[in-house]
Amino acid sequence: MQIPLDFWSITLWIAVTSIILLITAQLVQAYDGPQMLLIDSRKLRAAALTMGTLFLATVAIHIYTIITTK
């Protein structure tokens, strides 16, 4: 029994999620009208930035791995 996701898969998932969140966070700020879903835009922005930072951290780990294995 183990999680069938490797580090590359999680990096890819974080990348896609952070792009979606960052775009949504920017669009939500510009949108001013009746909303189907009530969103705290500040929290959404914080989550988007966290995911973006997490992705950059995984990229840094990849680069470090490449450098140290050569």
Partner 1 sequence: MSSRRNASQNRRVSHPANGTAQTVSSDPVEEVIIGTKIHETIFVFNSFTKLKLGSAPTLLTVIRIRLGKEHVNKVIALMMLVLGLVSLLGSVLYSSYVAAFIGLGLSFWGALLLYIIPSKHVRLDLFTAAASSSLADIQKVLVDSASVSVPRGVYLPPKLLKDYRSSLVFVPSSTSTRLPKREEVDEENLRSKSPAGIYLTPPGLALSRLFEKELNVSFTETDLDYLQRELPKLFEKLEISKNTTVETVGATVIVTVSNHIFRALCEETSKLKRTHEAVGCPLSSALACALAKATGKPVIIEKEETTPDQSTTIRYIVLEA
Nearest CA to 54 among 20, 21, 11? 11
Is residue 47 a contact residue for partner 1 (CB under 8 A)? yes
Question: How many residues bind partner 1, per CB under 8 A?
Answer: 16
State which residue, 6 or 66, has the beta carbon closest to partner 1.
6
Nearest CA to 57 among 2, 7, 23, 22? 7
Is residue 68 a contact residue for partner 1 (CB under 8 A)? no
Question: Whose structure tokens read 């510009």?
Answer: 30
Using CB under 8 A as the criterion, which residues of the chain lie in contact with partner 1 when the complex forms? 1-5, 9, 13, 17, 21, 37-40, 43-44, 47
